[in-house]
C-alpha cells in the first residue's frame, strides 16, 4: 500500500511534467516563413516522352515477319527541360534526367521559393521531348499571394499539363 506522501509526490511530479510538455507544445511560437512572405512550391514528377523513329521499308524487310513494328521506340525516356520566371526574371533553368537503371523512370523536381506577398507574374515552361524544339507545355498567369499562403505548381497531363493551385 503506497503512502499518502508518495501519492502526493507522484501527483506533483506528473503535474509538473504535464505543465512542461503543455508549455513547450504551445508557447514558443514557430513560424516557417516570415509574416509578409508567401511560398511557391514547384513539385513535378513526369515521364519524359520516348524518342521514337519510324523504320524505313528496307529495315522492315530485313526483320523477321513477327518483329516488323513500324516504329522503333527505345526504352529510354527523354530528359525534361524546365524553366520558371517570376516577375520577368528567370528563377529556374534546369534539365531533369530520367531515373532508373535504363533511364526509363520518372523525372522529378522539387523547389521552394519564398516571395513577398502580393501580385506576381509567373511563367513556367516545360519540354518533355528534347528532340522537338521549344516548349510543349506553357503556363503564364498573374497571381495574388496572401501572407503565409502556399501555392503549388504541379503537372498533370489529365488537367492539361502545368497548373497552379
Residue 99: C-alpha distances to residues 20, 62, 124, 143 (Å): 47, 34, 22, 33
Classify residue 8: in a domain, yes or no: yes
Q: Are residues 103 and 158 in the same domain?
A: yes
Q: 113 is written with which cell numbers? A: 521559393
Classify residue 70: in a domain, yes or no: no
Answer whether residue 109 shows pLDDT above 90.
yes
Q: 89 is written with which cell numbers? A: 526574371
Structural domain including 15 reads 1-30
Q: Are residues 24 and 93 in the same domain?
A: no
CA gap 48, 51 in Å, rounded:
9
Q: Are residues 42 and 120 in the same domain?
A: yes
Residue count of the chain, please give it.
165
Q: 33 is written with which cell numbers? A: 516563413
Average pLDDT for 103-129: 96
Q: 42 is written with which cell numbers? A: 514547384
Q: Are residues 13 and 41 in the same domain?
A: no
**Beta-ladder partners of 114:** 39
Q: Are residues 25 and 85 in the same domain?
A: no
Other Cβ atoms less than 10 A from the Cβ of 91: the count is 15
Classify residue 89: in a domain, yes or no: yes
User: 103 pLDDT band (50/70/90 cuts)?
Assistant: very high
Q: How many domains does the chain have?
A: 2
**CB 91 within 8 Å of CB 125:** no
What pLDDT sits at residue 104? 93
Q: Are residues 42 and 119 in the same domain?
A: yes
Q: Are residues 117 and 45 in the same domain?
A: yes
Q: What is the pTM of this model?
A: 0.76
What pLDDT sits at residue 115? 96
Q: List, for residues 32-84, the tens digit of each pLDDT value.
A: 888 899 999 999 999 999 888 899 999 999 999 999 999 998 899 999 999 99
Q: Are residues 22 and 46 in the same domain?
A: no
Answer whether residue 30 shows pLDDT above 90.
no
Amino acid at each position: 500500500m503506497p503512502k499518502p506522501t508518495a501519492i502526493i509526490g507522484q501527483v506533483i511530479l506528473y503535474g509538473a511534467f504535464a505543465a512542461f510538455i503543455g508549455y513547450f507544445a504551445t508557447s514558443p511560437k514557430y513560424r516557417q516563413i516570415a509574416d509578409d512572405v508567401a511560398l511557391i512550391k514547384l513539385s513535378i514528377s513526369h515521364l519524359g516522352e520516348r524518342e521514337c523513329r519510324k523504320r524505313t521499308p528496307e529495315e522492315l524487310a530485313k526483320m523477321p515477319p513477327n518483329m516488323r513494328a513500324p516504329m522503333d521506340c527505345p526504352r529510354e525516356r527523354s530528359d525534361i527541360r524546365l524553366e520558371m520566371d517570376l516577375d520577368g526574371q528567370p528563377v529556374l533553368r534546369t534539365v531533369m534526367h530520367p531515373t532508373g537503371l535504363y533511364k526509363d523512370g520518372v523525372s522529378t523536381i522539387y523547389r521552394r521559393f519564398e516571395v513577398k506577398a502580393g501580385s506576381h507574374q509567373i511563367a513556367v515552361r516545360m519540354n518533355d521531348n528534347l528532340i522537338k524544339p521549344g516548349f510543349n507545355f506553357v503556363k503564364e498567369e498573374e497571381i495574388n499571394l496572401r501572407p503565409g499562403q502556399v501555392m503549388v505548381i504541379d503537372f498533370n497531363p489529365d488537367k492539361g499539363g502545368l497548373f497552379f493551385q
